[in-house]
Structure 1
Amino acid sequence: MGPRFHTDPAALYREMRRDHGPVVPVLLPGDVPAWLVIGYREMYQVTGDPVLFPRDPGLWNQWPHIPQDWPLLPMIGNRQPSIYYTVGEEHQRHLKMVEGALERVSRMELRKHAEELADRLVDGFCAVGEAEVISAYAKPLPILVLGRLLGFPDSDGPALIRTLGALADGGADAIAAHQEFGALVGRLVAGRRERPGADVTSYMLACPAHFTDEEYLLDLMAITAAGYLPTADWIGNSVRLMLTDDRFAASLTGGRHSVHEAMNEVLWEDTPTQILAGRWAARDTRLADRHVNAGDLLLLGLAGANSDPETQTATAGSADGFRDGNYAHFAFSHGEFQCPFPAREIAETIARTGIEVLLDRLPDIDLAVPARALARRPSPFLRGMTGLPVHFTPIPAYGGRR
């Protein structure tokens, strides 16, 4: 978690491969040992074998050494019965309920919500001629759209942004943020039990299979957390790419490289979820040239695996360096525990709509600071911008009319 991890991760991953190979021994806060998988083939092996490498923290051999206030506990050591931390038939039961609810989301209504909320946010700064895109746009847009889909009131947006950001950063306030986040979702579940609506929470509660209120709450927490910050960073990282990469300069005025291409390039080169926790070895085994003990934690180095030089040629795209149409990245993980397909569609629709509205409304948008001055969030798990200052020609607000 040193500065180079955030300023030059590509070079750091190269050094890791040189010194340790595709499976790297690492220490988490408190000197907790783990393996960081950064090889493409090894990532495919781990994510593709849910029997040998299940997502079951109950197997962890470090539990006797983990204090109750360990800051990464909400991100790594959660042993509660949610879609994220169940395995086998129980995981499939949760997955069926969540996917069924997400599939009922109208894609037309989703885009309508995304456009309306994007326009509302742009209205808040378009007449000024300058803005900070991350805090004013990229962060609030996904949570406001997801909030509508899930049934949260718009007024919960600021609290969700604050608590989920603290969780991702894994700092001293992560435990308290997790508790506050749980309280927000708990109120949502209780409210939708009394007053069902046309939202994902109500669809989940209407599932004929039996789930406890705790299970609904935990699954909704997983959906919200997994859908919010990665989507916000997908927007921010894509806009940054389009404003700083000369290959995209023409695209801002309708050139050859599209928003879709920028978004796919980000999933390869600047993926929002760079490290994902985790998998646990069900028995002693070998991975690459490493002996992995039963119960060892494996962190999925998605960004590291995407940049594995052994697969760069095989996964290359067009002659100009873009991976046009190549979606063999690990941005959404892989295998049984990968991001559910309806959730990916929702995230892509929110991100793409958000970027398109921003560029449509502010066609001459440009960075207000040198690219080298841009800073990254300190999170070890998520790779996003702390700020993206821009300037543009001031325009009048739409006032909610497009």
Structure 2
Amino acid sequence: MTDLTTEQRQAFALASRYPAHVDAARLYGEEFHRDAAGLFRALRARHGAVAPALLEGDLPVWLVLGYREMHYVLTRPELFDRRTPWNALDLIPPDWSLQWILATESVMRSGGEEHERRSTVLHDALAAVNQFELRARCERIADALIDEFAAVGHAELMSQFAQQMPVRVVAWMLGFPLAEGPAVVRDLLILMDYTAEAPAAYGRLLARMHDLIRQRREWPTFDVASRMVHHPLAAPDDQLVEDMQYVVSGGQQPTAYWIGNTLRLLLTDTRFAMTLAGGRRSVGQAMGEVLWEDPPLANLSAYWAARACQMGGYQVQAGDMLVLGIAAAHTDPHIRPDQTTGAGGNQAHLAFGHGTHRCPFPAQELAEVIAETAIEVLLDRLPDLSLAVPADKLRWEESVWFRGLTGLPVVFTPA
């Protein structure tokens, strides 16, 4: 096989080792990004609750589309875990852009007693954040961001507001010195863009976290970093840095997209437009609906079958990777037979995951405070906010993992 091209070797491997994945749907590329929801519907009609699919590089995965099947995966750690070696590791190209999926140090990739210990540290450190103080800080940060464009009469709310809010709040919660705040914000935003500068930004961010841990070990204060460092179950410094990085990255992009997706709904849906001037009463309802209809984390990665099992009519082998389609599961006709009606106050969504590795409950509460406060302050300050382009001109990021806008241009009366 030495004379075969990379594509030919990949095709041979699929045919011999993963026959169900030959000509499977690709979770990347123009067709997927043009209409991911349509593709998921087609896959459900053809395959049912579980479908063979290909990640970038034509690497085989099982896409879980069914709500009940996803719930099953998330609540059976003895069958599906985040540490089993992937049986397709030998097929990964050296320059694969999704290498981060294979990282093993974060609390979210740990298991058993180690996961329980590390998640307890995170839970306790985040649960101790004073939500009244947090809301007040969010209001000040939101006001400062709005001050930068309020007098102009137009803004691009993703880059100037939604992306800026979470990272600034999280940097404050963790306890980064005020003077370092702008550098932390800048590096994290670079990291989220996945540009060529991302590795250097990641290195600087980790170095600052190591410095913060050393400082808080000697001079503890009332921030999240101090509580993590001095927790009786605290991990070694390297693991603390990994878990702190999880707090930063997990709190940034999903929350930013939650803000952006909710603003889009408020500005484009007539059910909310009528009450937009009043603002606050409709914000919580819109935020809840977004978690069902446009969840910021659209698909969840890095679950592997610990042993062979049956799923959705397919034989899943030990070491097979599963991609959990959160957005697809939320439209599962078995749980939502009438897709024309909203989810109302239903809290059974999977937007924060479920089971052992779900997003820590305090983190969910803090993200909600950040997003809700940001939106409320924006509507209070700029009550006649409206889109600067037709709604159908808004574009979504080309990502299999996230559901978020590339931009949200608006106009308003200068204030």
Structure 1-normalised TM-score? Answer: 0.91
CA contact (8 A) 1:275 1:381 kept: yes
- Correspondence for 2:404 among 346, 364, 384: 384
Question: Hey, what does 2:376 align to over in structure 1?
Answer: 356
| Closer/same/farther in 2, CA of residues 86 and 68 from structure 1, 3 Å limit | farther
Match of 1:30 among 31, 35, 57: 57
Matched, 1:45 2:72: yes
Report the number of matched residues.
Answer: 384
1:63 partnered with 2:101: no
Supply the distance in 2 between the matched residues of 1:12 and 1:255 (Cα, whole angstroms). 35
Partner of 1:367: 387
- Counterpart of 1:204 in structure 2 is 228
Whether the aligned pair in 1 keeps the contact of 2:210 and 2:241 (CA below 8 Å) is yes
Tell me which residue corresponds to 2:314.
290
**Offset at 1:191?**
3.5
Please give the alpha-carbon distance, in whole angstroms, between the structure 1 residues aligned to 2:163 and 2:322. Answer: 29
Contact 2:279 2:379 in 1 (8 A): no
CA–CA separation in structure 1 for the residues paired with 2:181 and 2:197? 24
* Per-residue deviation, 1:176: 5.3
Determine the structure 2 residue equivalent to 1:250. Answer: 274
Name the CA distance, whole Å, in 2 between partners of 1:177 and 1:32.
28
Identical-pair percentage: 47
Equivalent residues of 2:188, 2:201 under 8 A apart: no
The equivalent position to 2:170 in structure 1, one of 128, 137, 146, is 146
Partner of 1:214: 238
In 2, Cα distance between the equivalents of 1:46 and 1:386? 31
- Within the candidate set 294, 297, 300, 1:276 is matched to 300
- Secondary structure of 1:26's counterpart equals strand
Which residue is 2:149 aligned to? Answer: 125
Counterparts of 1:33 and 1:321, CA distance in 2: 35
C-alpha distance in 1 between matches for 2:371 and 2:325 = 23
Higher mean C-alpha displacement, 353-362 vs 255-264:
255-264
Which amino acid in structure 1 is aligned with residue 329 of structure 2? A
The equivalent residue for 1:73 is 99
Contact 1:71–1:174 (CA under 8 A) maintained in structure 2: no
In the TM superposition, what is the alpha-carbon distance from 1:25 to its structure 2 partner? 1.2
Conserved? CA contact 1:71–1:175, under 8 Å: no
Aligned-pair CA distance for 1:31: 2.2
Question: 1:88-167 residue pairs with structure 2 within 5 A?
Answer: 88-152=112-176, 153-155=180-182, 156-166=184-194
Matches within 5 A, 1:159-198: 159-166=187-194, 178-198=202-222
Q: Which structure would you say has the larger Rg?
A: 2
Change (3 A) 1:119 1:321: same
Contact 1:163–1:180 (8 Å) recurs in 2: no
Query: SS state of the match for residue 405, structure 2?
Result: coil
Are positions 1:12 and 2:14 aligned together? no
2:280 and 2:376 in contact (8 A); partners too? no
Gaps of at least 5 residues in structure 1 are 396-402
| Distance across 2 between alignment mates of 1:19 and 1:175 | 40
How far 1:212 moved relative to its partner?
A: 1.0
What is aligned with 2:356?
Answer: 336
Match of 2:367 among 347, 359, 369: 347
Q: Please state how far the C-alpha of 1:180 moved relative to its aligned partner.
A: 4.5
Question: Structure 2: where are the runs of 5+ without partners?
Answer: 1-27
Give the counterpart letter for 1:103 in structure 2: A
1:84 is paired with a residue whose SS is helix
Query: Deviation per CA, 1:211-265, whole angstroms, max 9, x where unpaired?
Result: 2111001001111111110000000000001111111111212279610110011
Sort the Cα spacing of 1:176 and 1:293 in 2 relative to 1 into closer, same or farther, 3 A.
Answer: farther
Pairwise CA RMSD of aligned residues?
1.9
Shift of 1:185: 2.8
Deviation at 1:355, TM superposition (A): 0.4
CA contact (8 A) 2:298 2:327 kept: yes
Q: In structure 1, what is the Cα distance between the partners aligned to 2:207 and 2:56?
A: 27
The secondary structure found in structure 1 opposite 2:107 is coil
Q: Secondary structure at the match of 1:363?
A: coil
Distance 1:194 1:387, change over 3 A: same
Amino acid at match of 2:87: N
Q: CA deviation at 1:194?
A: 4.0
